[in-house]
Structure 1
């Protein structure tokens, strides 16, 4: 009898503790794709955008989620692309994530989708936008002045090969039938940006899309090697997350030798070199403190 009574008394206490440890899911008052955000508000809401769109945003207005975390899970054509973590600052909070599309070789019919989640068990919804041929989009930013390595560009087209503006976008989507090299500088810039952010999964998708744009054997071989270097970079990141500094430094040294300086992977390796130096310094400081505190 006492056991039954004790269990009945503990049940509401345990339920209350569980409720306190798992806050209620926030409410999404608004959630939409947009092509721009101004003054913390979307300028439009879209379910379709032209392939020439330079950047895509996903905007959310969250209620009753103060100090919780929101996640935007971006996918391209159903494949996970990047996860964005957003902190909710108050019970009325507007926040958004974005994806630069320039250089990814997008084509009509491609779909971007975002799933929004919160704490474990909080599935807040799924939204999708489709790329189309028609319509106007914000112009892509001018990247001609940025310091990126020169890439092999195709020879100037003959008058018979020159395309009208109406057909230019469509012509860029399919790989050429001959073996002439194509200009992949925008693609390489996007890959470098993704790797600088540590997004190896997104970089791999960008590499695959760059491969679809060229039939040149040399460029294909370069992209294949870039994909292997990207996978090795992902392994390096894993070692760093595990705080296996000796193994990470050994792998980094090997990659710094094997990866050419003009590769989009190389700047990311330089960033990891600085990070490992900082971690080494932190480890030395920690060891010194422990030695000083030892009896």
Structure 2
């Protein structure tokens, strides 16, 4: 009896741990992984040159880079969101076991606050989400950018 009760609790816990599809259905676990995902100011030879955590609004654009593993044949999407609203979407067809992709977004200087890119599969199930803060220049906060070279 105790074993069945624990099994039921484990099942209920796993149910709530699985991501939900936009329509409310449970998402299936993706077959691959997102090895790396980050915001960057520039891409060089298909690689990010830095990692952006906080960005001043003197920067007019930003890239989002992702390194996808074992997702060949799948479709993934970069969904750019500002304060929870979808601003832009870019769809990619993954054509190899290691596939690096990036998207570019022009930033409106007045759209300060939290930006998110959600990487989703073809069914809009989330695979990974990354956040950065867009702040006003010369207001005490400065950009937090980690050089990767």
Q: TM-score range by the shorter chain?
A: 0.5 to 0.7
Which of 107, 114, 119 is matched with 2:117 structurally?
Answer: 114
- The CA distance in 2 between the partners of 1:125 and 1:69, in whole Å, is 14
* Aligned alpha-carbon RMSD (Å): 2.3
Alignment pair present for 1:67 and 2:70: no
User: Residue 127 of structure 2 aligns with which residue?
Assistant: 124
Distance 1:106 1:26, change over 3 A: farther
Structure 1 contact 70–87 (Cα < 8 Å) conserved: yes
User: Residue 30 of structure 1 aligns with which residue?
Assistant: 36
Which of 102, 105, 117 is matched with 2:109 structurally?
Answer: 105
Unmatched segments (≥5 aa) in structure 2 = 1-27, 144-149
In the TM superposition, what whole-angstrom CA distance separates every residue of 1:101-132 from its partner, at most 9, and x where no partner exists? 2xx2325x422111111133742111111012
Runs (4+) of structure 1 exceeding 3 A deviation are 22-25
1:23 positional shift: 9.2
> Which SS does the other structure have where 1:46 is aligned?
strand
Which of 39, 45, 51 is matched with 1:39 structurally?
Answer: 45
Q: What number of residue pairs does the alignment pair up?
A: 113
User: Residue 140 of structure 1 aligns with which residue?
Assistant: none
- The CA distance in 1 between the partners of 2:60 and 2:109, in whole Å, is 11
Unmatched segments (≥5 aa) in structure 1 = 1-21, 137-295
1:75 positional shift: 0.8
Structure 2 contact 30–127 (Cα < 8 Å) conserved: no
Structure 1 contact 25–122 (Cα < 8 Å) conserved: no
- The CA distance in 2 between the partners of 1:26 and 1:83, in whole Å, is 21
Structure number with higher relative contact order (C-alpha < 8 Å, ≥ 6 residues apart): 2
- The CA distance in 2 between the partners of 1:53 and 1:121, in whole Å, is 29
User: Residue 55 of structure 1 aligns with which residue?
Assistant: 61
Structure 2 contact 121–127 (Cα < 8 Å) conserved: yes
Structure 2 contact 82–116 (Cα < 8 Å) conserved: yes
User: Residue 99 of structure 2 aligns with which residue?
Assistant: 93
1:92 positional shift: 0.5
- The CA distance in 2 between the partners of 1:100 and 1:114, in whole Å, is 14
- The CA distance in 2 between the partners of 1:131 and 1:96, in whole Å, is 19
In the TM superposition, what whole-angstrom CA distance separates every residue of 1:28-77 from its partner, at most 9, and x where no partner exists? 00001111100110010111011111211110000001121111111112
- The CA distance in 2 between the partners of 1:55 and 1:83, in whole Å, is 15
Distance 1:121 1:114, change over 3 A: closer
Structure number with higher strand proportion: 2
